Amino acid sequence: MVLITRYSALRKQDLDKKFRCFSSLRAVGLAVELGHKEAQKKGLLAVETDDLLQVTVAGKLQVQQGRNLVDARKATLTLRLQDAELAKAVVVKQLSLLSSLHLNVWKVDKQVGARTLDLLGAFHTTQNYGVNGQVWVETKVFSGKFFAKELEKSRDTLEEVLQQEEDKRSSTFGGVLLLAVKATERGHRWAPPRLVCQLLTNSGGKWQTLSGQSPKAGRGQCRAGKKPTLKHTFQEMEWPSLTSGAKVGLLKHFLEALKLPANSPGKRAATFNRQLRKHKVKGRLSQEKLPQKCGRRPWVASRATFEQVYKFL
């Protein structure tokens, strides 16, 4: 097999039957495919930049030998170090996102009829984003300068392909996931790649952007990005008066306003009081009798105390 060390020395015939020189991002795209194969074979953490320094190029090729262009069917292309490093960063970013989406990759470079799928998998939790069946994952690396244009072109192409698959009664595809990377050069290096993940569940539908799940909240805490504001929380609470005239809020209402479990206020009060003592805050939650309420004494606290408790959640 011919070994090529310069991108300009290798040309490949495209869909328009024109031979075009290899670009660095085209080489990176092949290295990304190789990276996914290596990750499936030995695990993502075991993939090294050195594993991606050489890729195999197949198809109708023209290889420059001296002043002549020689026809070839297969060649080995050596990548620049910075291109191999970019490819590894892209693979790590893509597989990390797929993991956060709970999407299992079954096959890499899967041949389905006349079409080759970059990745094939399925969501393995009930949060499947409306996908019933297998998910075809398409990976792309675009130049930052033409990213928007190339992203739109890829989406149009994938919509057509998905329509063709839907016309086949035997098709098991539930949707196509596009992982598009925006790569921007900074001098002789690449800037950190930016990943856009979009899902299409049917050819006539709309693309939805996925970003993975928010960091999991600790037990009894508000989920990141879902915590109501303190002002909204206080507006949702009642503020009755004690026999002394001091206004207090009910812990149960406080928890309900934050959309947290409120069925064991006594246990929560004990936890909050420990945290208040640890942070040397004067206020405490306590059980008090309210003049206008009968029955069991509720857990209450002042507005200032709830402001401190809010910070713990």
CB count, 10 Å around CB of 264? Answer: 12
Prediction pTM value: 0.66
Q: Are residues 126 and 193 in the same domain?
A: yes
Q: Are residues 86 and 111 in the same domain?
A: no
* Boundary-marking domain end, from 213, 244, 279: 213
Which residues of the chain carry a pLDDT beneath 50? 214-215, 224
pLDDT digits (tens, 9 = 90+) for 49-63: 999 999 999 989 999
pLDDT digits (tens, 9 = 90+) for 98-147: 988 989 898 998 887 777 889 999 988 777 887 878 899 999 999 999 99
Rounded distance, CA 227 to CA 255, Å? 11
Q: Are residues 207 and 277 in the same domain?
A: no
For residue 4, being part of any structural domain is answered with yes
3-state secondary structure of 217: coil
Q: What is the CATH number of the domain that holds 297?
A: 3.10.260
Rounded distance, CA 110 to CA 116, Å? 6
The residue segments making up the domain with residue 12 are: 1-96
Q: Which amino acid is at 103?
A: L
* Boundary-marking domain end, from 56, 72, 96: 96
* Boundary-marking domain end, from 54, 78, 96: 96
In this predicted structure, what is the pLDDT of residue 215? 46
In this predicted structure, what is the pLDDT of residue 172? 72
